[in-house]
Amino acid sequence: MMRKRILVGSVAAAMLIAAGAFIVPPGSDANAQAGKRLPQLDTGDASAQPWKRYAGWPVRDASKFNTLANLASPPPPTAARKLTGPITGDSTKGAVLVADRNRGGSCLACHTMGPAGGTALPGNVGPDLSEIGNAGREDKWLFNYVFDARVYNPETVMPPWGGHGIFNEAEINDIVAFLKTLKSPAPYKTELDNPDKRPAPVEKRDNLDPIENPGMWAVDKAQELWKQKSAIGFSCNTCHSDPKESFKTWAASMPKWEPRLNKVLGVEEFVTRHTKATTGDTWLMETDENRVMSVYLHYLANGTPIKIDTTSAESKAAIERGKALSARKVGELNFACTDCHGKSANKWIRGQWLGEPKGQADHFPTWRTSLQAIWDIRQRFQWCQVNIRADELAPDAKEYGDLELYLVSQNEGQKLSVPGIRH
Ligand code: HEC
Ligand code: HEC
Ligand code: HEC
């Protein structure tokens, strides 16, 4: 399907058809040829399908749990579980379990728990539990709070450790036995150990300085790509010889509702679909060429305040869907975006500071220092899913489009500054 619409072979630039103000490649659709609409491949996928998770990302089957596209998680319990007797778990085993990062990231990601975890940096998404042993909590309450806190607090941020089978009942007994031993304030060695005192990180690096931000190479690389001719002899430059002028605000108006695709279209998917329909090149989302070109198109609009269409009925509906998706609990750990970037924003999840949505969309694609790689926003969405044990979607999924539009709508007025630089 995809190929048929593009003339393959050695069609020279001489075959360019000038139609009205548009120069349209020979393989493009009839309306684009007639100068009526922008050349864009409206069929087929814009990313590799079936989507394969990145090598090096954790592999596990989370298909039993909700994703942004599918509801599958077991329903929350309707009543607290009864205990057969007092809890007689092994607190030594419990101390190990609460710090075990392979079991859902460990309790210390969100709680200080007295001496537990040794040198691990605790987070403060949840309350300090260092003295929970003095709080007079009943065994049944503690057991159920850890097993599945939704029986007491339907809005809880805590993962349903028992409800989703991350810990079994015997293990939860051990954890409760350990909680009951916690009776004195946390022995912080330095102020930095204390998440309530740890200063918020400030990004001081100049992201537009190529010496500080290696991601700036993408801007150079894109300028080469701009002129690189495809197999049919076309390049971006064939039709856009002055991108600095033509696209100096465009990326700040993206993403947008695209009626031709019946979904929200972001810069990266546009690049795939427009490139295919013009130069004939296949620059699928999250390939190097696509990333580099997305960096460049954003870079050209740097300094422009983000201003997207939030008024049309279709955009409004997409933003509402995105808002609902950002509050949807997904994955084995049962987190919604809003659990971390809303309710827990400006807190520490272990050693990581949780940002709020405003300020999250103005610097993508961004250079990740820790990974030595450029991530576009859809890859960031994917990781925020995989990391909480949810199956991610393909980058061109319509759900990500809705989510992106909603996120960007919360960043309106922020000035683009791409490529960003982040840890
Ligand atoms: C993602 C963050 C997060 C993780 C991880 C987490 N908790 Fe919590 N926990 C919270 C939050 C937030 C609360 C506060 C109330 C709520 O949201 O339900 C809480 C409350 C609690 C409470 C009730 C405290 C009280 O006195 O009201 C207990 C007990 C508890 N957590 C134990 C644990 C244990 C044990 C683990 C690990 C198995 C754990 N938590 C992991 C976020 C977390
Ligand atoms: C054969 C001609 C042709 C080629 C080649 C071409 N484009 Fe375009 N492009 C167009 C036309 C026609 C439009 C719509 C009118 C306009 O904005 O100039 C357009 C529009 C755009 C827009 C604005 C889209 C919008 O929503 O208004 C961007 C960005 C863009 N092109 C980028 C590129 C990039 C990047 C390449 C190279 C991968 C490229 N173009 C190659 C013809 C072309
Ligand atoms: C368990 C907590 C958690 C959940 C749930 C979560 N994230 Fe994140 N997210 C993080 C952490 C940690 C970071 C890296 C630190 C930071 O930049 O906030 C991050 C970073 C981001 C960033 C980049 C921020 C920046 O300034 O570069 C975006 C965008 C983002 N998340 C979006 C989402 C979306 C959308 C969802 C829901 C699909 C989501 N996150 C769910 C923890 C979470």
Query: Per residue in 51-93, pLDDT tens?
Result: 999 999 999 889 999 999 999 999 999 999 999 889 999 999 9
Q: Which pLDDT band holds residue 12 (cuts at 50, 70, 90)?
A: very low
Distance of CA 347 to the CA centre of its chain: 18
Whole-number pLDDT of residue 24 = 58
| Nearest protein CA to atom 11 of ligand 2, as residue | 38
| Nearest protein CA to atom 17 of ligand 3, as residue | 355
Q: Is the pLDDT of residue 108 over 80?
A: yes
- Tell me which ligand sits closest to the C-alpha of residue 282: 2
Nearest to 8 by CA among 239, 283, 233: 233
Q: Which residues contact 403 (CB under 8 A, 6 or more apart)?
A: 68, 322, 325, 326, 337, 381
Whole-number pLDDT of residue 192 = 84
Place of tokens 């204390």: 194
Give the CA distances from residue 107 to residues 81, 159, 415, 423, in Å, rounded to whole numbers and listed in that order.
Answer: 21, 10, 37, 23
362/340 Cα distance (integer angstroms)? 19
Q: Which residues line ligand 1 (CB under 6 A)?
A: 98, 105, 107, 109-111, 125-127, 129, 132, 135, 142, 145-146, 149, 153, 156-158, 161, 175, 179
334/355 Cα distance (integer angstroms)? 19
Across 137-161, average pLDDT: 97
Whole-number pLDDT of residue 105 = 80
Question: In order of start, what are the domains of the chain with their CATH numbers?
Answer: 38-73+204-423 (1.10.760.10), 91-193 (1.10.760.10)
Whole-number pLDDT of residue 29 = 67
Q: Which pLDDT band holds residue 2 (cuts at 50, 70, 90)?
A: very low
Whole-number pLDDT of residue 190 = 85
Q: In a 10 Å sphere around its CB, with 0-12 CB exposed, 13-18 middle and 19+ buried, how is residue 244 labelled? A: exposed
Whole-number pLDDT of residue 116 = 84
Nearest to 185 by CA among 134, 118, 139, 141: 134
Mutate which of 29, 238, 239 for ligand 2? The one with the most ligand atoms within 8 Å of its CB, which is 239
Q: What is the pLDDT of residues 254-289, one digit of tens each?
A: 999 999 999 999 999 999 999 999 999 999 999 999
416/386 Cα distance (integer angstroms)? 27
Max mean pLDDT among 25-29, 82-86, 244-248 falls in 244-248
Whole-number pLDDT of residue 23 = 55
> What's the token pair of residue 411?
């960043």
pTM over 0.85: yes
Whole-number pLDDT of residue 18 = 38
Mutate which of 107, 330, 384 for ligand 3? The one with the most ligand atoms within 8 Å of its CB, which is 384
For residue 239, the tally of other CB atoms under 10 A from its CB is 16
Q: Which pLDDT band holds residue 97 (cuts at 50, 70, 90)?
A: very high
For residue 76, the tally of other CB atoms under 10 A from its CB is 15
Across 6-23, average pLDDT: 38
Sign of dihedral through CA atoms 387, 391, 396, 400? negative
Across 289-305, average pLDDT: 98
Q: What is the pLDDT of residues 353-404, one digit of tens each?
A: 999 999 999 999 999 999 999 999 999 999 999 999 999 999 999 999 999 9
The answer to whether 34 touches 28, Cβ cutoff 8 Å, is no
Q: Is the pLDDT of residue 15 over 70?
A: no
Average pLDDT along the chain: 91
